[in-house]
Amino acid sequence: MTTNRQFALALEALVELKQETVSPPLQTQPVTAAPALSRVLSEIGSLPREALFLGVASDGLPVLLNLRDPIPGPVLVVGDAGAGKTAFLQMLASGVQQVHRSEDVQFGVITNYPDEWEIVEATPHRVGVFPAVQNSAQDFLLSLANWAHANKTRQFVLLLIDDLEALAKLDFDALQNLRWLLLRGPARRVWPIVTLNAERYGQVLSWIPMFRTRLFGRVENERSAGALGGDQASALDTLQAGVQFSLRENGNWLKFWVPSR
């Protein structure tokens, strides 16, 4: 697998921290039986504080997002219904709880279905789970934007939004705060990671260009895939729903699998 400095796929930062103790690459797992996240993280060993675990590539190396590098920008997670988008966000949250100190990384969730997030433990890492239809979601966006404006700490915050269309009913000020977080957040240590049902991309067309980085789950409709940045080579309709995702890396498509929570 080629090295991408934005995503640190070859674990350059990890190698620097663990010159003599780096474990060998994870054995490639059959995507039909993804192992538990705790097992995968145990095999990887310690990660740099700025590394967000996304999954495991076909060659067994972890796929990481370098939170200290704002170049990738906000992340859009695209897929059909049932492609595993919500489970992916929940895996990210669980990974943060298992890998990072709450002083280093926290996360907050905006969703139409807060009950789905009861399975994610309420630790100091979790700022809150905010129903998209309530004022608490708007208040959270405001407080997060204010925090980012004034932030002088080394802490990162993940803004997990499931899904983008759920925010359509927010008031003008809340949408402006969201827009600012999408444009400036990663440079201020706030990382929006947002899901989108591929079939409903037309409802949020004006927002899609703000996402420089897009992760794809299974998308069967070729037209939807193409409109969102996929192409014929991406073969998004062959990804296994709930387990496999793909991203474009240096002009090529990198498939990776996601551990079970």
CATH number at residue 130: 3.40.50.300
- Sequence-distant (6+) residues with CB within 8 A of 121 are 94, 97
Q: Are 99 and 41 in contact (CB under 8 A)?
A: yes
2-5 contacts, C-beta under 8 A, 24 or more apart: 2/249, 2/250, 2/252, 4/249, 4/250, 5/69
Taking only the tens place, the pLDDT of each residue in 210-236 is: 999 999 999 999 999 999 999 888 899
Cα-based angle 144, 194, 154 (whole degrees, multiple of 5): 40
Within a 10 A sphere around the Cβ of 36, how many other Cβ atoms?
Answer: 12
Number of domains in the chain: 1
Query: Residue 77 has what pLDDT?
Result: 98
Q: How far, in Å, CA of 242 to CA of 218, rounded?
A: 8
pLDDT of residue 12: 37
The pairing of strands 51-57 and 252-257 is antiparallel
Asked if residues 85 and 214 have their Cβ atoms less than 8 Å apart, the reply is: no
Q: What is the pLDDT of residues 98-114, one digit of tens each?
A: 999 999 999 999 999 99
pLDDT over threshold 70, residue 17: no
Domain-located, residue 211: yes
> Which of 256, 245, 258 has its CA nearest to residue 215?
245
Report yes or no on 1 lying in a domain: no
Q: Is 7 a domain residue?
A: no
Q: Report residue 152's pLDDT band, with 50, 70 and 90 as the boundaries.
A: confident
Helix spans in the chain (H): 12-17, 37-44, 85-99, 135-150, 172-184, 222-227
Instruction: Report residue 46's pLDDT band, with 50, 70 and 90 as the boundaries.
Output: confident
Residue 160 in domain: yes
Using the predicted structure, report yes or no on whether residue 20 has a pLDDT greater than 80. Answer: no
196: domain range? 12-257
Burial class (CB in 10 A: 0-12, 13-18, 19+), 96: buried
Is 4 domain-assigned? no
Q: What's the pLDDT at 8?
A: 40
Q: Average pLDDT of the chain?
A: 87
Residue 239 lies in a domain: yes
pLDDT above 90 coverage of the chain, percent: 75
The DSSP symbol for 76 reads E
Q: Looking at residue 250, what is its pLDDT?
A: 83
The reply to whether 3 falls in a domain is: no
5 belongs to a structural domain: no
Phi then psi dihedrals of residue 169, to 5 deg: -95, 5
With bands split at pLDDT 50, 70 and 90, how would you rate the model's confidence at 32?
low
8 A C-beta contact, residue 197 and residue 163:
yes
**Per-residue pLDDT tens for 162-191?**
999 988 778 999 999 999 999 999 999 999
Q: How confident is the model at residue 34 (pLDDT cuts 50, 70, 90)?
A: confident
Pairing assessment for the beta strands 62-66 and 51-57 based on DSSP bridges? antiparallel
